[in-house]
Amino acid sequence: MSTKRLRVLVLICSTRPHALGPTVGSWLTETLAPTSRTLDVDLVPVALADLQLPFLDEEEHPSHGVYRHEHTQRWSKTVAAADGFIVVTPEYNHGMPATLKNALGYLSAEWAWKPVGFVSYGNTSAGTRAVQHAKQVTTTLRLVPLGSTVALRIADALRQDRFQPAAHLARAAVDMLEELARVTQALAPLRQYGQATPGPLPGSYAHRLRPEHEPQVTVLQRCCWVEEAIANNTLQIPALHETPGQVREWLTDWHTTGLWHSGRLLGMVRTIRHGSELHIGRLAVAPDLRGRGLG
């Protein structure tokens, strides 16, 4: 598990004047506020109307990741920094809004292996046909739609011109966020693999370790230095008694590379520069994988 806080974008899709979307988005974030604090999730509302994305105007295919326009570069950074998404969408003519389709189509790799939940609203179908339409596109982008959804029928949610959805819809929203947090963690190895250097074992990959990887690093250290402690009849080995806080501190200061496979940290090495000298330390390989050339 990672100790990193999750960043979830709440995408408000409707751009019509006086649209219901912002009201639905506000209800959602207020409803989920207690749960998001418990789950260490930051909910970040993003109105597609504020992005001012024209209809796709990039010359290169999004899969190439070559963006020439500033609006695309801003959108790319916003999506890349997110761990998951909740789409708040109306239903237009049995489908999703053109604004959502356009925003999705601008990018490619930034979406991959991240969960997406849907909060829909409409009349007869409560917006569910828009969600089914959107899932065809999101799965092609390797987004992972959640099973939990929230579907709001406008006539039922508006009471004396006030937006007051029934209590069971609030519970459904909480269920969706809890599922999103679990799926985000489960998909982390796939996201890391796509951004990393292939490793020496089939399916393994190497990438930099950061403070949020402290739990995995602490476990690996304890496994790797036990034999040294036994051989030298001493526990006075820093790697065995460092606190989580100390591990996080040196992960901030040192450039540490980890070798992973399916979410498991197999090994690591760290380096730091002092003037003209480069210091290398903490070369570690999981005990069950020694003798295979990983070090």
Give pLDDT, residue 3: 56
Given the candidates 3.20.20.120, 3.90.280.10, 3.40.50.360, 3.40.50.2300, the CATH classification of the domain at 6-192 is 3.40.50.360
- Options 2.60.40.10, 3.40.630.30, 3.40.50.1450, 3.40.605.10; which CATH number does 197-289 get? 3.40.630.30
Res. 174 pLDDT band, cuts 50 70 90: very high
Torsion of CA 185, 146, 89, 69, to 10 degrees: 50
Would the pLDDT of 1 be above 50?
Answer: no
pLDDT digit string, tens, across residues 49-82: 999 999 999 999 998 889 999 999 999 999 999 9
Assess whether the region 6-192 and the region 197-289 belong to the same CATH fold: no
How far is it, in rounded angstroms, from Cα 47 to Cα 45? 7
Laid out side by side, the sheet with 144-153 consists of 41-47, 6-12, 84-90, 115-122, 144-153
pLDDT tens digits, one per residue of 83-95: 999 999 999 999 9
Q: What is the pLDDT of residue 71?
A: 95
Rounded Cα–Cα distance for residues 196 and 261 (Å): 11
pLDDT at 171 over 50: yes
Q: What percent of the chain has a predicted confidence (pLDDT) above 90?
A: 71
Domain boundaries, the chain: 6-192, 197-289
Rounded average pLDDT over 120-146? 95
Cβ–Cβ under 8 Å, residues 188 and 2: yes
Confidence (pTM)? 0.74
